[in-house]
Structure 1
Amino acid sequence: MSERGGALRGRLDRLMREIAKFGAVGGAGLLVNLAVFNLVRHTTELPVVRASVLATVIAIAFNYVGFRYFTYRDRDKSRRTKELTLFLLFSLVGLVIENGVLYTATYGFGWDSPLQSNFFKFLGIGIATLFRFWSYRTWVFRALPAREAVQTAESFLGQPSAEPDRVGR
């Protein structure tokens, strides 16, 4: 049971580190998103949801760089085109979730003051973040299979593999 408990603890520790890194990048992306949103909203005549969509797109670009090179830097890098396509697809769904909440509050209920807009933008970001965390870790930044991860680490360290590659394994 102790070996099983140790394995579970290791998985939980890795998940907590991943959540912390995701949160750090996401928190910085949140600041970018809200800063751009408020800057555009208060310096232009763009409608509130268009300003929000623009801010979200800028934050998505910022977040991709942070996720790829910080949060998920140890994940599979062999399929960058597929990764970026999936990232943009899931980010688009997150954009719709995030801005759908703001749209509903603004045009459905008439809540359009700066405070209300920021509250519902923040709420939409929170809901979309739950979806993005699940989708990015499940579909976009996929973990390397254990054998491949060991070989990648060994090649990085310049150490030969302890076990010869066998065909049919």
Structure 2
Amino acid sequence: MDLARRLYDRFASLVHELAKFGSIGAIAFVLDTGVYNLFLLGLGWGPLTSKVLATTISATFAYAGNRFWTFRHREQSGLGREYFLFFMLNGIALLFGLLVIGFTTYTLNLDDGLSLNIANFVGVGLGTLFRYWSYKKWVFLEATEPIPVELPETGIRQDR
């Protein structure tokens, strides 16, 4: 039991961070998949156009969720900087999805809804691995000093 407690103490912050990242990611995945299918199957748009638009919408949600919940304990290095890097890295992650969907559609000649949704799922999975690693490395940086906490009575910020 002591070993389990020591392991938990050592990895608790990582486990909590991964749980939050996974929660935001799950919601963003549902949003991405729903919007992708709306554009692809509902409106009859092309698979790559549908993917770019769906990712843009879901990435906007994911940025807000990750900035203000998952990684809020990390240093805030400027909204403009983070936003730019976040969307640049999401653009790179989007390439994984576009490559898989493009390969499925134009190389394998599979353009039915099921095949394109499987391709989307594989692309999102590959992109998610890249996004988690890159967000921690370049977007939401480790805090270099303690994050100030607001005093409840006055609203004045004070360092601990």
TM range (shorter): 0.7 to 0.9
RMSD of aligned alpha carbons: 1.9
Which of the residues 147, 150, 155 maps onto 1:156? 150
Provide the TM-score with structure 1 as the length reference: 0.82
Report the Cα distance in structure 2 between the residues aligned to 1:159 and 1:84, rounded to whole angstroms. 27
Report the Cα distance in structure 1 between the residues aligned to 2:47 and 2:84, rounded to whole angstroms. 28
* Residue 29 (structure 1) aligns with: 28
Distance 1:91 1:160, change over 3 A: closer
Where structure 2 has 5 or more consecutive residues not aligned to the other structure, the ranges are 152-156
Among the aligned pairs, what percent are the same residue?
Answer: 34
Report the Cα distance in structure 2 between the residues aligned to 1:69 and 1:38, rounded to whole angstroms. 28
1:99 maps onto 2:77 in alignment: no
* Residue 129 (structure 1) aligns with: 128
Report the Cα distance in structure 2 between the residues aligned to 1:112 and 1:9, rounded to whole angstroms. 46
1:45 maps onto 2:44 in alignment: yes
Report the Cα distance in structure 1 between the residues aligned to 2:77 and 2:52, rounded to whole angstroms. 31
* Residue 72 (structure 2) aligns with: 73
Query: After TM superposition, where is structure 1 displaced by more than 6 Å over at least 4 residues in a row?
Result: none
Alignment check: 8 A CA contact 2:41 2:113 kept: no
Give the structure with higher Rg (CA): 1
Distance 1:160 1:83, change over 3 A: closer
Distance 1:12 1:115, change over 3 A: same
Where structure 1 has 5 or more consecutive residues not aligned to the other structure, the ranges are 162-169
* Residue 167 (structure 1) aligns with: none
Provide the TM-score with structure 2 as the length reference: 0.87
Distance 1:110 1:23, change over 3 A: same
CA apart distance, 1:44:
1.9
Report the Cα distance in structure 1 between the residues aligned to 2:41 and 2:93, rounded to whole angstroms. 24
Q: Give aligned pairs, total.
A: 152
